[in-house]
Structure formats: C-alpha cells, structure tokens
Structure 1
Amino acid sequence: MGFFNDVTSGAAGLRLALPGRFQIQGQDETSAQLVDLDRQAALFLFRFNLQLDLSPENEGLLARDVERHARELFERHFHIQQQQRPAGKGGAEVVPRTSDPTWSPVVSIERTRPGPHEALSVVHRMAYEPGLEIVMGHLLIPLSSGLFEFRIIAANRGPTGVRETVLLGEAAAKADIKTDEALTQLMAGSKPDDPRHDSRFPDHPLSVVRSMLRMLAEPGSIEVTQPALQHPASEVLLPDMGCAMTPPPRYLRTPDSDGTFLRFSRVAFAGGAAGSDGVQMLTLSCFKEDGAAEGPERLKLLTAEGEFLIQGRLRGATSSQLETWSAPGQDGGVHLFFHTVFQPETFGDPQQRTILRLFTQAQGMVNVVMLDAAACLSKEEMLADLEAVIQSWRPLGTTAALPSVSPPPAEKKQKSWWRWWA
C-alpha cells in the first residue's frame, strides 16, 4: 500500500483514474511521482495540510499572488542555472526574461471544476532561455482534509523558440511585412501560447502540460470524495485561546490547527512548506506568562521567548539577519516584534522572511502571531497583515479590539539578536 493506492481508492480525499501510460517513479505518505511514458513528462501528486481561497471577491489578490511567486520562482531557477554553468560557457543571456516587466512567466490562471467542485488551474514557465524551456502546470483541489495538488512538469532541452519562430514567420508572410517597425508591432501582438496552436506543436512543453491538464479534467478522471467546507470571510472564534480574530484576505484555517496552535494558509499556485512555492503561513499560539517578573526583567523574559521561537525558524539557515523592537501595550502590556530574513539550507529554496509579534493581555497570557513568507514579500506588507490581525483581535465576551501599535520606520537599523535593548 502507499499514497498512490490511497489516491486511486479515494482514501486521499479524491479518487483518480489514469491511463495505462503512466508509471510510478516513487511515493511516500503524502506524495507520489509518476511519468507519462508517451510524453516523457512528470506528474506529481501531493496532499498538503493547507487550504486554498477561491472566493470571487479575492480574484485580484489571487492573480497578484500567482504572478509574484511565479516570477520569483522563474528568477531563482534562472540564477541557479547560471551558477551551474561551467566557466566560459555562458551564452548571450545574462539576465532572466523577467527583467522585461512587460513579460510574464504566467501563461494562464483558470477556475475549473472536477465534477461539481471548484478547483484552480495555473500554467507558468519556470525556464525560458536558449536551449531550455520548462513549463509547469498545477491543478489545485481544495478538500475538507487539506489541499490536493497535481503538478505537471514538461521540458524541452533541444532547440527552443521553434513554435514562436514558425508562427511569427507565417504571420509576417501573411501580413506582407516590409519594415523592422512593422515586424516589431507584429511581434508585440503575436500570441504563440494560444491553445489553438497546440495541435500543431504536440511535443512542445506548453502543449504537453495543457494536454495533461485536459486529461485530468475529463469526466471520470477525478472524483472528489472529501469536498472542501465553506470558509466565509468572517471573524474566527478561538475558544481555547479565549479570543476571536479576523484573518487577512485569502488566509484560511488549515486542517492541522488545534487548540492553542492554529495556522492559516495563503496559497498561490502550489502547495509546499511555509515560505516556499508561494505559500504564506499565519500562525497563532499563546503561552502563560511568568507573573513574578516586572519591568525590565519581564521584557527580557518575553524577548527570550520570542528569540527562542525565531531561532527555531533559523535552524540550519546559511545566512540570516534579525531585528527586534518593542512598544507599550494597553494597561501596562507589552508588544514585541521580531523580523528576520534568512536563506534556508535546502538548495534551491527561496530566501524567506518571518515576522513574529508577541503581545500580552489580561490573565497573564502572551499571544503569539507569526507570519512566514518568501522574502519577495516586503516587510511593510507583512507588517500590515499582522496589524490587521491585531486590530481584529478581541477577547471573547467583549467587543473591543486592541489599539493600534505603530510599526517602526522602514529604515530602522537592523540589530543582532542579542541586542534587544538597543
């Protein structure tokens, strides 16, 4: 038995039926890798403890998340490729295609429905340069038990740009192009990625990915056995923490949340660990404060708690920066902030950013609000999300939210972790 058997039986939250041309390459408890022997494309199956927001009112935010993280992945892959090239073997390309702000690695973002259930399909390029084109396709299906992802990867390591060149040449001949200016205008309006051209270029990575996505969308291919629950955008009651709060847009509570440890995920085009593959994670928890400490000693103890939590994020990091600051809270309370940017030890992972906020309330409880994301999100944007959480925070039995605490200026000097008092 294994994960693939769970998928084909329906025990994984959906039931999958694939043609016989797929061969299993490997699997573990929550993922499986297959290969399409006819197309030599990879198909990955994943189940994550995440949730995906597909509410219509957040359509614009979803598109922005997909664009930002697909661009970050494209640029990261480009620089890895550059580093691995032998000295003296570099080609004419010295900057990624995304250096042109008018070009996007995202090919399509579409809503789809396996049966009556809503899902998200995203196609984007991970590499696009002479001699290498990699296209990725994702089908994300929210389930009551989490998020299921079908991830397709197709690559062309031979001559690239054939599809674009052929189609542009045909269009130029038809339009009787005579000048460079007219050719430039024609190129700007050309659409070589249009699906209507796929049948002419069936082995092109983009054609292969879209063909496999269409296969998954065929009736009988996928049957959802654990449909996702509805997640209205409203206040969330957290009885074990004695409070209520409203998550920022697109953050949904994950299935593994429990008691006084809760997580809310914001997913772009793929599942994965917090801070990678476009996954942003909001974590809430609390602990009992040492009631004997007061004044500077209290601040020192709370700072040590925050440092301990942050150091857990930095374990194994190859480089990191950390700054901390504090602000007075209501009725003698304390707000502590910790901000770190670090490079995980896993090769190929993006640089990540974590902001942790501790604040005290009545009954000697210390609340922890932490946000993890890729470092392509700005510190200011993440602080704004955290502030939105705090502004919505209220103890159960009351209607009063916490007062606003101003974040530090953007140019605040970074401090080493041991200099919390500076």
Structure 2
Amino acid sequence: MTLWGSLHDDSLGVRVELPDLPGQPAGDAQHVLHDEGGGLSWVLTHSPFPVDLRDEVADALFEDLLFQDIEDSARAEMRMEHARIAAETGAPVQSRLDDPRWSPIVSAERTEIDGGPALAVLRRTSYAPGHETLAAELIVPLDVTAGGGALVIGAVARAGVTGLREAVQMLALGDELAMPSQDRVDALALDEQMPDHPLSRTRRALAWLLEPGRVTRTRPWSAAPRGESTLEGPGCAVTAPARFARVELPMAPTAATFVRTVFPGRPHRMLQVFRVPERVTGGGDALVRLARRMNGDWAREGAADIETDPRLVAALDGRPQVEDHVRFVVGGAPLQELQRWLLDPDGVVFRIGASGPRGLPVAKLVRDVEDTLRSWRRLDAVGPPAKPWWKLW
C-alpha cells in the first residue's frame, strides 16, 4: 500500500489535514503535493527508522544529544546535496559549511501531538550562490503498535537567486561590505518584507501545519521500551547508548541493528552487534586477519573504496580485542565505521560497530562503541577453548 493510502486508512495512527492539491506518489513511502500558488511542495515521508525523542524533556543530557544530532544530520545532508550539485554543474560549491560557526538550522523545537512527542525543524538543505533550498519539517514518531518509524510532513521551497535577504540587511546596516549575522538574515520580521522568499514561505507553512487539528494521532501514544535489549540473533544483550533505537533490517541472522536518526532517509548513525558465524583459533593475530578479510568482503555487498586497517588494542576482560576504522562509499555517500572485534576462548567472535557519515568526528563513534561494550554480555555459556581443525584430541 502507498503512503497516501496508509494515511487514509489509519494504519499509521496519524491523520494529516493538508491543502487539496495535485500530487503523486514517489514510491510506496513518499507522496508529493505541488502548491504552485504557494511556491512550494509538500513532501510526506514514512521512514522505517524510529526517531527517539523520549517524553521526559527534563533530561538535559538527552536534550543536548538530540539537538547536536539535529545539527550533525543537517550538516551531513547539506554536504551530500552540495556534492550532488557540484557533480551536476562540474564546478565546486562554495559552501557555508566551511565555517564551523554557521548552522543550517533556522529553528528546531519540540512540540506535542495528542500526548506524543514531535519535532518541528526549519533548515536549509542547500545554501550556495545561485542555489538555496529550505525545508520545514514536522517529524512525528509513530506508535509502536503502528510498526514504529516516523512520519515526516515537510514543505520545501527553492530559490535560484540567492543573497536577497542578506542584501536587505546590509542596506539596513548602512554598510554594503558588512556581512550581517545569520540571525539577522533569518529574522522573522524580514518575512513581511520578503513574503516570497523560500524561508518566508516555509516558515508560514510550518506555522500553518502546527495549528491545532492539522496533524492528529488516532490512537494513544506508546513508545518503544528502553533499557537492556536481549538480542537473540547474536546471542548477547546490550543497553544501546542514548537515542539509539532497535530496528529490524534485512541483515545477517546473527546481527542486530540500532539507529540514531532525526531526518528521513539514511539513518545518520547506526550501531550493529554481530556474531561471526565462523569460529577462530590463533588468538589476536587471527582476529586481525579475520577483520581485514571480512571488511574487505563488503565490496561484494556494494561498498566501494574500502579502507581498512585492523589492529590489536587492549584486551577486554581477558578477551583479545581488535579495533578497525573502516572508510567506504555506498551509493555515492562517503561513510565510516568504528569497530571492535572480541574473541572468546571458545573461538566465538563478536563485532560491535558504530557507523555514520565521513564528516562525523570518529571520537563520537568510538564513544558509541565503548558505551555499548560496557553493557555487553554474552547469553550462552562460553565453551571449551577452540582447537585448530587438525587437532583431534
């Protein structure tokens, strides 16, 4: 069934009242409405990835993580969009992302829909000379009884001529050479002077969408349980770090996956716990060889430009441990994964890997893995020491 059909038969547990506009599906999980008079498009997306917003906003640490994830995700998506524009035009994009003090986020705030959490974000998805795109998005985590995931209702507007808001503010400052701050450029007061600017259009659309009754839940909100996860496939249990949520993906039967995401599409960060089907003898050196071989085999699964450099690190509770920082490309997107491989005395190998876009500091992936390892425990008993195949006694 298409997303449009799911919204009308109540299978997602959310009802959306949108303008009566022409539109068409963009696959089973997306529907686009065209508002030519309003100068924007409405894009509805059903993401299979759960967005963990929690209900208890009093957790300051969680709030810091959430809004840092919003920033990191927006920057990663803008980098990908600028790379696409550069590939199409054959010219490099002069990106504001080169300035670490600049943010693509115009506004981001929590809201609530019928007792369940939601997130309202206004952001730039591209911002370069001659190309500016803004997206206003209401991200609604879906009830676990509706299969989880998230519904994203977005309004998107583009401009081929850029710098108009900046020019108006330069005149207001009385200095044609002074670059106004982004806060001044994005000020709400400027929308009245420039009602057709993409920022003005999308901000109005988001305010309209947040009016009572536009988006409603049709069943009571219930979040996925938190705490320790018992992973039957890999035969172990972990407590995933904050904002990581369990998701079922078509992976190996001995793998379990968690995602940490905000916007639809590819999850910003992923955590995988994997039990290697084969047993290993030979200690740490054999574990290094196994990591190098298995990571190199990702090429058979569609990865390209794989860089892998496994090395022995300090043992974990007596278990040999290997770390590998793998860099690779999937679907044109540069990605990375930080892995720890553990070898039990009976030859059973576990791998815990945290992945994300290449621009994400690797220290964040290291922290994800180490936080997971602190809670990791094997479910089945450790058997007798593994022997080489040629030793029959």
TM-score by length of structure 2 reads 0.80
Name the residue aligned to 1:343. Answer: 329
Name the residue aligned to 2:305. Answer: 319
Q: Secondary structure at the match of 1:118?
A: strand
Does the CA contact (< 8 Å) of 1:36 and 1:42 recur in 2?
yes
Aligned mate of 1:155, from 138, 151, 158: 158
Quote the offset at 1:287 in angstroms.
Answer: 4.3
Is the alpha carbon distance of 1:342 and 1:360 closer, same or farther for their aligned partners in structure 2, counting shifts above 3 Å?
A: same
Does the CA contact (< 8 Å) of 2:321 and 2:342 recur in 1?
yes
Name the residue aligned to 1:250. Answer: 243
Name the residue aligned to 1:109. Answer: 108
RMSD between aligned residues: 3.4
Aligned mate of 2:76, from 72, 78, 86: 72
Q: Which moved more, 1:140-149 or 1:324-333?
A: 324-333
Does the CA contact (< 8 Å) of 1:128 and 1:134 recur in 2?
yes
Is the alpha carbon distance of 1:310 and 1:66 closer, same or farther for their aligned partners in structure 2, counting shifts above 3 Å?
A: farther
- Alignment partner of 1:352 is 2:335: yes
Name the residue aligned to 2:353. Answer: 370
For residues 77-111 of structure 1, give each alpha carbon's deviation from its aligned partner in whole angstroms, at most 9, with x where no partner exists: 33543454367xx9xxx732233333222111111
Name the residue aligned to 2:293. Answer: 307
Is the alpha carbon distance of 1:36 and 1:306 closer, same or farther for their aligned partners in structure 2, counting shifts above 3 Å?
A: farther
Mapping 1:104-183, distance limit 5 Å:
104-143=103-142, 144=144, 145-157=148-160, 159-169=161-171, 171-172=172-173, 180=175
Name the residue aligned to 1:409. Answer: none
Name the residue aligned to 1:283. Answer: 272
Whole-angstrom distance in 2 between the partners of 1:331 and 1:112: 44
Does the CA contact (< 8 Å) of 1:3 and 1:27 recur in 2?
no
Whole-angstrom distance in 1 between the partners of 2:98 and 2:276: 46
Amino acid across the alignment from 1:137? A
Is the alpha carbon distance of 1:229 and 1:265 closer, same or farther for their aligned partners in structure 2, counting shifts above 3 Å?
A: farther
Quote the offset at 1:256 in angstroms.
Answer: 5.3
Whole-angstrom distance in 2 between the partners of 1:189 and 1:33: 30
Does the CA contact (< 8 Å) of 1:124 and 1:136 recur in 2?
yes
Structure 2 unaligned blocks of 5 or more: 382-393
Whole-angstrom distance in 1 between the partners of 2:259 and 2:99: 31
Whole-angstrom distance in 2 between the partners of 1:164 and 1:301: 56
Does the CA contact (< 8 Å) of 2:30 and 2:45 recur in 1?
yes
- Alignment partner of 1:262 is 2:265: no
Name the residue aligned to 1:403. Answer: none
Q: Secondary structure at the match of 1:377?
A: coil
Does the CA contact (< 8 Å) of 1:134 and 1:153 recur in 2?
yes
TM-score by length of structure 1 reads 0.75
- Alignment partner of 1:218 is 2:214: no
Does the CA contact (< 8 Å) of 2:94 and 2:129 recur in 1?
no
Q: Secondary structure at the match of 1:113?
A: strand
Does the CA contact (< 8 Å) of 1:111 and 1:119 recur in 2?
yes
Name the residue aligned to 2:23. Answer: 24
Whole-angstrom distance in 2 between the partners of 1:330 and 1:167: 58
Is the alpha carbon distance of 1:225 and 1:255 closer, same or farther for their aligned partners in structure 2, counting shifts above 3 Å?
A: farther
Name the residue aligned to 2:2. Answer: 2
Is the alpha carbon distance of 1:377 and 1:311 closer, same or farther for their aligned partners in structure 2, counting shifts above 3 Å?
A: farther
Name the residue aligned to 1:60. Answer: 64
Name the residue aligned to 2:320. Answer: 334
Amino acid across the alignment from 2:31? A
Is the alpha carbon distance of 1:99 and 1:312 closer, same or farther for their aligned partners in structure 2, counting shifts above 3 Å?
A: closer
Does the CA contact (< 8 Å) of 1:247 and 1:389 recur in 2?
yes
Does the CA contact (< 8 Å) of 1:50 and 1:255 recur in 2?
no
Quote the offset at 1:299 in angstroms.
Answer: 5.5
Is the alpha carbon distance of 1:314 and 1:45 closer, same or farther for their aligned partners in structure 2, counting shifts above 3 Å?
A: farther
- Alignment partner of 1:201 is 2:194: yes
Is the alpha carbon distance of 1:166 and 1:287 closer, same or farther for their aligned partners in structure 2, counting shifts above 3 Å?
A: closer
Whole-angstrom distance in 1 between the partners of 2:340 and 2:196: 50
Structure 1 unaligned blocks of 5 or more: 399-422
Whole-angstrom distance in 2 between the partners of 1:101 and 1:309: 32
- Alignment partner of 1:388 is 2:371: yes
Quote the offset at 1:154 in angstroms.
Answer: 0.8
Whole-angstrom distance in 2 between the partners of 1:265 and 1:189: 32
Whole-angstrom distance in 2 between the partners of 1:112 and 1:237: 32
Percent identity reads 28
Name the residue aligned to 2:89. Answer: 85
Does the CA contact (< 8 Å) of 2:170 and 2:178 recur in 1?
no
Whole-angstrom distance in 1 between the partners of 2:85 and 2:234: 47
Does the CA contact (< 8 Å) of 1:23 and 1:37 recur in 2?
no
- Alignment partner of 1:100 is 2:93: no
